[in-house]
Structure 1
Amino acid sequence: MQKETGEDRSGEGGNTLVQDPGAARRIEKEAFQEGWRASASTIPAVLAWGMVSGMAMVKSGLTIYQSLGMSLLVYAGSAQFAALPLLAAGVPLLVVFFTAMIVNLRFVIFSAAVAPHFEHLPWYRRVWYGFFNGDISMAFFPQRYPPSTFNQPAGKIGYFAAICYPGWVAWQLGATIGILLGSQIPESWNIGFAGTLALIAVMIPMTSSLPALAGVVVSGTVAVLALELPYRLGLLLAMVLGMAAAMLADKLLPGSGNEDDAGAAA
């Protein structure tokens, strides 16, 4: 039985027919290894931010079990940091819910960008992968699989798993450490600042084209200028305008890069 995987190892288009499940598994395994090599440098940053998140939950008044449950179910640092002060202040849960939803609206854009690559999967698998979709996956997946590969599913599950699953494990490990040792780790250690430095170190090599640079400059500037907006809406505004700037630069600047630069800048 033949299975068309749409494999394109050269990155130049074209489909390859995989004759047996063993060959398909080999392709996914190779893609997993490729994804791990590409994204492994993000793990220290994710681990550090997870620790900061865990400490923040404990210091905001949540119990250990509440904090662990929030880390496992929410899995969104920005939403957690936005919701924690509201929970500590006794704000109605409906307000907390909508605040977290507004802060995480960027995931709607992320999902729209990735969804066409997985539309051949049943809905429950798309829901599963959607839970893990986030900033790290959007930093790497669109570069490896631009829109021109929508109809070429081979290797995508393996690559996506490699850039998402280790990050989830690192986040949960860091959050658990932060929760259990939150009262023991002094704030003078500046773990949050260490996480920021690690993210910057990851971001700089990815800003390798003018559209990506335009997106980074615009989003960073807007994030600073819109810092005082309520519910951290400045982050959402910065992301949208940054992506718009990257796409505009990609259209207007000759020889500036590929169509997936805008996704990398996000």
Structure 2
Amino acid sequence: MSHPDSEPDVAAHHEPSWRAGLKDGTPTLFGIGAWGLVVGVAMVKSGLTVMQALGMTLIVFAGSAQLASLPLIAAAAPIWVIFLTAVVVNLRFVIFAALLAPHFAKLPLLRRFLLGYGAGDMTTAMFLQRYPSEKPEEGKVSYLRGLLYPNWFAWQIGSIAGIFLGSAVPAEWGLGFAGTLAIVCITVPMVATRPALVGALVAAVTAVLAHDMPYKLGLLAAVIVGMITAMVVEEQIERRKAAND
């Protein structure tokens, strides 16, 4: 038995926290599965074989990066362009990692790696909402697992179903358009602040103007220019707030 004044073992299994994580994450599972379905179909329709698509969904586990890289793969773009595009699209996970790291700094490296691999946008947000403080607290790992495990399985089930569905349905069904709609549905709620809105608009204009660039580099340029614009706008807003204070 641990001493009353000792820090709680955040890594120990805590059944109530596990059930709480499972309960909080369950409402998102249908949307995660549907999003995985769209990505699975898109992978096959982009020219990947079933085995290649299965490998990608199991290893990469990042829908936005997968969709961003698929046109580049189909266009036979250089590997560095594909890799850099995926990294840029997923730069937000650097922020997620920085937010989660203090909560699990004492865990072994492999366990932190596995938790990081499974963490996503929704699961990270829900965890930080429940545990805003970085201080050690019993049940943190169990709660995060209750979010991550069902989320991962929902994604994989949807994605694998999409892979086999995509290899069976005719191209004229317009599933590529469905994928575009899915991206729009995910993107719109994220554009909730002025910097994000300005960045998204600048990225859209850049993507149109740079449409004819080789190897789909216009997409990468749009992402980079949009991110830089959003950062500049956010910095200007912070400066104005500081000046007013």
TM-score, normalised with respect to structure 1: 0.70
Partner of residue 223, structure 1: 200
Distance 1:151 1:136, change over 3 A: same
Q: Which 5+ residue runs of structure 2 have no aligned equivalent?
A: 208-218
Query: How far apart, in 2, do the equivalents of 1:235 and 1:33 lie?
Result: 42
Partner of residue 2, structure 1: 2
Partner of residue 32, structure 2: 46
Partner of residue 107, structure 1: 93
Distance 1:171 1:150, change over 3 A: same
Question: CA-to-partner distance for each residue in 1:206-231, whole Å, 9 max, x for gaps?
Answer: xxxxxxx9955643453244223532
Query: How far apart, in 2, do the equivalents of 1:117 and 1:134 lie?
Result: 16
1:82–1:99 Cα contact (<8 Å) kept: yes
Partner of residue 263, structure 1: none
Partner of residue 158, structure 1: 142
Which among 214, 220, 223 is matched to residue 233 of structure 1?
223
Query: How far apart, in 1, do the equivalents of 2:46 and 2:54 lie?
Result: 13
Which among 168, 172, 183 is matched to residue 156 of structure 2?
172
Query: How far apart, in 2, do the equivalents of 1:189 and 1:96 lie?
Result: 20
Query: How far apart, in 2, do the equivalents of 1:190 and 1:159 lie?
Result: 36
Deviation at residue 184 of structure 1 after TM alignment: 1.8
Partner of residue 118, structure 2: 132
Deviation at residue 195 of structure 1 after TM alignment: 8.2
Partner of residue 84, structure 1: 70
**Are 1:142 and 2:143 counterparts?**
no
Partner of residue 184, structure 1: 169
1:222–1:234 Cα contact (<8 Å) kept: no
Query: How far apart, in 2, do the equivalents of 1:96 and 1:171 lie?
Result: 22
Deviation at residue 233 of structure 1 after TM alignment: 1.4
Question: CA-to-partner distance for each residue in 1:173-220, whole Å, 9 max, x for gaps?
Answer: 1110110011427337975447866x69xx7xxxxxxxxx99556434
Distance 1:196 1:29, change over 3 A: farther
Query: How far apart, in 2, do the equivalents of 1:99 and 1:238 lie?
Result: 15
Distance 1:5 1:112, change over 3 A: farther
Distance 1:93 1:162, change over 3 A: same
1:5–1:153 Cα contact (<8 Å) kept: no
Distance 1:170 1:60, change over 3 A: same
Query: How far apart, in 2, do the equivalents of 1:176 and 1:103 lie?
Result: 23
Amino acid at match of 1:41: P
Q: Which 5+ residue runs of structure 1 have no aligned equivalent?
A: 7-14, 204-212, 253-266
Amino acid at match of 2:40: G
Distance 1:238 1:43, change over 3 A: farther
Structure with higher RCO (Cα < 8 A, 6+ apart): 2
Partner of residue 259, structure 1: none
Amino acid at match of 1:169: F
Question: 3-state SS of the aligned residue for 1:90?
Answer: coil
Query: How far apart, in 2, do the equivalents of 1:63 and 1:145 lie?
Result: 42
Distance 1:58 1:214, change over 3 A: closer
Name the Cα RMSD after superposition: 3.6
